[in-house]
Structure 1
Amino acid sequence: MSATSGAVWGRAEQQDFRSRVRGTLLGAALGDALGAPVDRLDLAAIREAHGAEGLTDLAPAHGRRGAVTHLTQLTLFSVDGLIRAQVRRDAGAWHPPTDLHRAYLRWAATQRDWGPDERRAEDGWLAREEWLYARRDPARSLLLGLGDDIMGTPEAPKNPAERGPEAAARSAPFGLLVGWEPQLVVQLAVECAAQTHGHPTACLSAGAYAVIVHALARGDALDGAVQKALALLSARPGHQPVSDALQRALGAVRQGMPAPARVEELAGEGTAEGLLAVAVYCTLVGEDVRHGLCLAVNQSGPSGAAGALTGGLLGALHGETALPPGWIAELEGRPTLLALADDFAMEMTQGPALHGPAGSAPGWLARYPRGA
């Protein structure tokens, strides 16, 4: 069913889709929040701080339990940009990478400004959420890539040597475009990754992650979703490191009981393809969401990104009701996450009723203006 064509969705379909959208966004944020206190600590230091089993519960970071980082902030702006792209399509302005770039520039403003500029109505509601105006250790590549108005593209990327996982970790929302063809999901994620992370493995890892989420959100099992990603990657130059990482993740499942050493081996140097492999592996072998997330973050690399990537997959696979309620209760920004998730689900299933030829809802266009 095409979510962009105005096709009619049944009520059960809408409810399932909304649960997976909520699950994906909340799951990614929970993984980010779980990993934030131990990000880039080595495993010995994690165990010294949290016990022999490592981190098994939310712990304080940035002054509170359940705090999220720039990874969640940017994921929210990915969703905002996708909704704005759909709204702007009515006016004949249809170039989603540009709308995502504008959204990421709104995020960049939150890292510079003291608080929202109430005079700028064209920024929409998300940019007026005061809690987002907090620096949460953003990677230098993000600040450089979004430090001016020039948009990186696959042909002329920003930070062409950057292989980190941050672009992939903001790409789950692209996978929630369930009405799009998978190859278009890959392409959009790749184009948006190039705005900050120009190395081919970083861009293709973002594309692979987005299309795995896409398959899960459509109801596929994770094994099948990874196989779809591998098939789509095979046609793209420079895919081999990403394809190899995914194959290693699948192979690791057959190598005995899950263990931090296996996660660290998959993570490697903490690059995008290594963290993608960690997310796939931890989702496959996790006994439940809590176990999968704890397995992902108890390692010596970028624990926040590993948790966010894993949480996005687990949430897309199982929906929101599988997530640990005690953790959700403490999650920073939960009302914003839920409002944005529900807005995205409504836009993708009922967009024509909100801003179609038959009329528009003024309140919706105030939340998601057609302007910049």
Structure 2
Amino acid sequence: MQKDLYPNVAPSLRSRFRGCLLAGAAGDALGAAIEFDTRAAIIARFGEGGIRQYAPAYGLPCAITDDTQMTLFTAEGLIRGLMRYRQAGLIEYSQVTAWAYQRWLLTQGESNRSQLDPLHPDSGWLYEVPALHSRRGPGLTCLSALRDTETPGDPARNNSKGCGGVMRMAPVGLFADSAEEAFTLGCELSALTHGHPSGWFAGGAMAAMISTLRDGGDIDDALAVALDNLAGQLDADETIAALERAADLASTDLPYAEAVAQLGEGWVAEEALAIAVYCALVATDLQEALVIAVNH
């Protein structure tokens, strides 16, 4: 992780960083208006094709949700972790990112029970962005885990495998030096809020896939790398099975909606990851992938 920020980053790599984060935010905003709706409700409101254009959410013409908010705070934590390494020689990415999540918690109008103070001098800059001080359907597990944190950097003491860990892991894949490093760090950062193995293995797999794509691999390469990193890990069977099921369904002629329904609703980590992988495998372009992903 000893990379320079950012003068020597190749323009093509910068473009992948920007494109990855913007595409995630775009999909998040597309789905914000129907996040808690069933597919039947989506069709009733938008027609058989589902939602394909931005719709009002949270009082705005279109809006990101907590998913993008936490993705940004993940990126902030990683950047600050790198600066801490440069200044003090300390590799504390989990701890520094945990403090970033505490700042996100404050933007949601919540506070830590142990009275942690994440706003010490030079602690970060995202907290100063007024637009981020808005509740956008924050996950209950993320809120409760961060409220209950006693020592930033320690794993959460719960058994949740909700999607709130995996959904914020894209910056890890962009940041880490290798897919293997991304997998390990993705697991660690997901475990800050989600204690079930599937909750953090999905996050690690997501980060490893993003790292592979960043380095020029395609989605098939990325899936293979994720499965390689999961292989042999204790309690990773559920995540492996979900990814393999996504690949199997992508090779069929099932209508997209039927295939996604077989993967689940996406409220838990391995289902959310599997749906994302399926959409990436079957879509012909980014727009189609986002439309398939949100309409379930």
Q: Compute the TM-score of the two structures, normalised by the length of structure 1.
A: 0.73
CA distance in 1, matches of 2:213, 2:169: 14
2:273 matches 1:276 = yes
Task: Give the letter for the 2:77 counterpart.
Answer: G
CA distance in 2, matches of 1:165, 1:281: 16
CA distance in 1, matches of 2:207, 2:16: 14
2:259 matches 1:262 = yes
Task: Give the letter for the 1:142 counterpart.
Answer: C
2:75 corresponding residue in structure 1: 79
2:222 corresponding residue in structure 1: 225
Equivalent residue in structure 2 for 1:47, among 32, 39, 43: 43
What does 1:1-372 align with in structure 2 at a 5 Å threshold? 4=2, 14-90=10-86, 91-112=88-109, 121-151=121-151, 157-178=155-176, 180-256=177-253, 258-268=255-265, 270-299=267-296
| Displacement after TM superposition at 1:93 (Å) | 2.5
Task: Give the letter for the 2:139 counterpart.
Answer: A
1:329 corresponding residue in structure 2: none
2:115 corresponding residue in structure 1: none
1:335 corresponding residue in structure 2: none
Judging changes above 3 Å, is the alpha-carbon distance between structure 1 residues 227 and 110 closer, same or farther for their aligned structure 2 residues? same
Aligned length: 289
Cα root mean square deviation, aligned = 2.3
CA distance in 2, matches of 1:151, 1:282: 38
Which 4+ runs in 1 deviate beyond 3 A? 5-10
CA distance in 2, matches of 1:7, 1:132: 24
| Displacement after TM superposition at 1:267 (Å) | 2.4
| Displacement after TM superposition at 1:236 (Å) | 1.1
Judging changes above 3 Å, is the alpha-carbon distance between structure 1 residues 208 and 151 closer, same or farther for their aligned structure 2 residues? farther
| Displacement after TM superposition at 1:192 (Å) | 1.1
Task: Give the letter for the 1:35 counterpart.
Answer: G
Task: Give the letter for the 1:89 counterpart.
Answer: Y
Judging changes above 3 Å, is the alpha-carbon distance between structure 1 residues 268 and 41 closer, same or farther for their aligned structure 2 residues? closer
Judging changes above 3 Å, is the alpha-carbon distance between structure 1 residues 164 and 19 closer, same or farther for their aligned structure 2 residues? same
Judging changes above 3 Å, is the alpha-carbon distance between structure 1 residues 251 and 215 closer, same or farther for their aligned structure 2 residues? same
Task: Give the letter for the 1:50 counterpart.
Answer: F
Contact 1:172/1:209 (CA < 8 Å) preserved in 2?
A: yes
Judging changes above 3 Å, is the alpha-carbon distance between structure 1 residues 263 and 152 closer, same or farther for their aligned structure 2 residues? farther
Judging changes above 3 Å, is the alpha-carbon distance between structure 1 residues 149 and 247 closer, same or farther for their aligned structure 2 residues? closer
Judging changes above 3 Å, is the alpha-carbon distance between structure 1 residues 151 and 245 closer, same or farther for their aligned structure 2 residues? farther
| Displacement after TM superposition at 1:83 (Å) | 0.6
| Displacement after TM superposition at 1:126 (Å) | 1.4
Judging changes above 3 Å, is the alpha-carbon distance between structure 1 residues 62 and 8 closer, same or farther for their aligned structure 2 residues? closer
Judging changes above 3 Å, is the alpha-carbon distance between structure 1 residues 15 and 217 closer, same or farther for their aligned structure 2 residues? same
| Displacement after TM superposition at 1:92 (Å) | 2.1
CA distance in 2, matches of 1:261, 1:64: 31
Judging changes above 3 Å, is the alpha-carbon distance between structure 1 residues 61 and 286 closer, same or farther for their aligned structure 2 residues? same
CA offsets, 1:118-159, max 9 Å, x none?
x96423321100010001111111111111442476xx7325
| Displacement after TM superposition at 1:257 (Å) | 5.0
CA distance in 2, matches of 1:9, 1:134: 33
Task: Give the letter for the 1:246 counterpart.
Answer: L
Question: Structure 1: 5+ residue runs without aligned partners?
Answer: 114-118, 300-372
Identity %: 35
CA distance in 2, matches of 1:125, 1:141: 25
| Displacement after TM superposition at 1:166 (Å) | 1.0
Contact 2:174/2:214 (CA < 8 Å) preserved in 1?
A: yes
1:326 corresponding residue in structure 2: none
Contact 1:245/1:273 (CA < 8 Å) preserved in 2?
A: yes
Task: Give the letter for the 1:147 counterpart.
Answer: R
Judging changes above 3 Å, is the alpha-carbon distance between structure 1 residues 269 and 15 closer, same or farther for their aligned structure 2 residues? closer
CA distance in 1, matches of 2:151, 2:236: 23
Task: Give the letter for the 1:53 counterpart.
Answer: G
Task: Give the letter for the 1:138 counterpart.
Answer: P
Structure with higher RCO (Cα < 8 A, 6+ apart): 1
